[in-house]
Chain A
């Protein structure tokens, strides 16, 4: 039992970590604990917990069908573990879904709001029903320990066949429907994975995966409890799995040939290599290992084949559920550690329940016995040096496990910032020190385009040395510098730059109203003529261009005061120096706004914010350009 004990300790630790992460996920929302984004709204939790979980739990329907329908009685010893694995697998899917759904308290909504055009609706119903069926299928096992409830048990056993057939019907539907889910996204999924027969592929692979998963579960528990593995059964299971895998491989390749997409395998992109790896470990390696004369029937090779096949199909589900979409959306996604923690925690929880059931009910013909538990209780005479006496072996185990859980949870909490700032997904503001003056260049929009920032001025106006914390927040996690927008909330709002007084003066005072406001109408912004009534290309003197530059004022969608402030920080000094060093270009717009001159260079992907066009913001390459300030000063002095 030593292996089991150590394994349980590990599982409890993972659960503790997951508990801390789950706490934060439900308190602060999905953005705080995942790397999901608007471009990839489904991630690890859907790909692994749901898609992988359902597929891995396919052993239940495969084995019950083999034993109860096809009457292969020799597999009877593995029915109970297989049904238990399936039940726990589906329960894990449900728990994983609770974490993944944005509004988990609405998880029951598919029961009352019906929408039969949706594949997900069908999956939801099937999973709900099948979870119930699996619970009823397994219930007779724990009920053996309660002789009083014998009637219920007898009823369930009598009607087992109905449950088994119902289970197969439901499994067939939702195993395939998980593939149907992705049929509606032909633009997202890469051609190597998107096929109209995705549901069929999902179903066939679920059967082989079910067989391999049952073998894997048997291998793991045999290892943990130091039992003799049922090699003859495993060999047979793997032989069947090899046949199913062969069928899967043929269908998959035929599909590629029929659709004419087979050339994509050889296109030498990362997708094509990924596809080859997936096919290799999910089908080819297991088939070879399960059928070759050299390797079949040998435990080590069986283990390798099973591990390869199971991880191959998990990879397949992850590919369909997200990885194969990476090239078709413009956002990058890699799961955060917190996502891995929740996924691992859910699996660990299920494994713990599995081990509990094995030890307390007749899942196997005889539950494994813990010799230490059965020793008569004795007080130790001496606590051995270097270890702590935690009580008798039974309670010691509980204490050890709960301690592992608490410590891991505490560790998790210590790693997770709980500020709301972090969960709002605000991006750190990068900052550079600028040449000359006490001005920094900070990327307030976090879009790679920097603006000037007078640190001294902010310091002065916010209260000298007392003011640091206003922006630097006394080093809150993930907050090196507070974004400009935290205080200057109107930075992103467009304001009108129209100066009414000046126009009145230019056009001749009170006499001029009707030039813009048609006579007889209310004088308001709505009724006034548009700017381009006068400012049009016909009269060059009236084109709203900034002096010496092609910038047109009517295209400037930014607050006028903001522009003035930004320019005030540089332009005055620049112009002064430009005259002194006889370099007139040093003071013109294009010195700092190169995109104005080379607009065509600037492509769609450089553009990140529409309200503050980067064209008006100093570009980064300019900042990186290495100019020796001292030399510049010298040259100025010399002149």
Chain B
């Protein structure tokens, strides 16, 4: 599985990755809109650099979770987790319910609010390029090697190595964090700041919250059916017996 590792300590905030992404997907310049969030991501910016105090720069993008909430939420399967790692989107299937935007714990997917035929927009980890054997445009463009591309296991090992070298560093995106993500971070600052103060490390994967309920659906369906039929039969039978009894009494009387 392919993956990206971003090292916050190495990022200088040059925005090369943002521009490379925009060039690759022909995204027009973004203007400030009413519906934007302050993190710089939008339907036209699939990755952004968030500036934190003390000159720390964090690249924000889709985390491409191992067990993505958006994929499990999408009612038509427009979002897919590919074997190569990327979570990709098929606008032809999408019906625009925006449940993925609600479900994503990182609040990554963005929407074409100004369009009459809007689609969900987010980083797709350059799926086409990966299939061709190339690396994503952003990691290719990074001048300092702050964000690198590779096999997930190798990058995870590399991240752990960096953490051993510098105990101040924290690792984001390993299996403890909602089942693991394909976009890993090594950071000396708390990344809560870019995710609305949420720290997801130590939490289980989100599809597991709805899975047991949905698994019980067929049983509930049949159960309610059987219960209702049974109730009807019992009550009907009792009424019939009552009637028979009454008519019997009359006949006897």
Chain A interface residues (CB < 8 Å from chain B): 26-32, 35-39, 41-42, 65, 68-71, 100-104, 106-107, 109-110, 113-124, 161, 164-166, 168-169, 172-173, 176-177, 180-181, 183-188, 196, 199, 328-331, 423-427, 445-447, 483, 485, 489-490, 492-494, 530, 554-555, 557, 599-600, 602-605, 607-611, 613
Contact = CB atoms under 8 A, between A and B. Distances in A.
8 contacts: A103-B117, A109-B95, A113-B93, A117-B71, A184-B72, A425-B34, A599-B54, A604-B38
Contacts, number: 264
B106 to A, nearest CB: 9
B116 A27 contact: yes
Interface of B: 12-15, 18-19, 29-42, 48-55, 69, 71-78, 93-99, 101-103, 105, 107, 110-119, 143, 193-194, 196, 198, 200, 203, 206-207, 209-211, 213-214, 217, 220-221, 224-225, 228-229, 231-232, 235-236, 239
B40 A609 contact: yes
Given A38-B42, A169-B225, A426-B33, 18 more contacts: A29-B115, A36-B113, A37-B34, A37-B36, A38-B101, A101-B97, A106-B95, A113-B77, A168-B224, A185-B105, A331-B37, A426-B32, A492-B30, A555-B12, A600-B53, A607-B38, A611-B18, A611-B40
A28 B116 contact: yes
Contacts of A485: 29, 31
Contact of B111 (A32, A38, A119, A446): A38
A557 B14 contact: yes
Contacts of A114: 77
Nearest to A603: B53
A196 B231 CA distance: 29
Contact of B19 (A102, A165, A494): A494
B113 A173 contact: no
A109 B111 contact: no
Contacts of A613: 51
A106 B98 CA distance: 13
B36 A29 contact: no
A68 B29 CA distance: 62
Contacts of B30: 492
Contacts of A186: 203, 206, 209
B37 A37 contact: yes
Contact of B38 (A36, A187, A330): A330
B114 A31 contact: yes
A71 B52 contact: no
A30 B113 contact: yes
Contacts of B118: 29-30, 102-103
A599 B97 CA distance: 42
A430 to B, nearest CB: 12
B138 to A, nearest CB: 14
Nearest to B51: A607
Contact of A37 (B50, B52, B113): B113
Contacts of A119: 73, 210, 213-214
Contacts of A331: 37
Nearest to A111: B76
Nearest to B77: A115
A102 B72 contact: no
Contacts of A69: 228, 231-232, 235
A121 B75 contact: yes
B95 A107 contact: yes
Contact of B74 (A35, A68, A118): A118
Nearest to B117: A103
Nearest to B40: A610
B96 A106 contact: yes
Interface centre among A101, A107, A117, A187, by most chain B C-beta atoms within 10 angstroms, is: A187
A172 B220 contact: yes
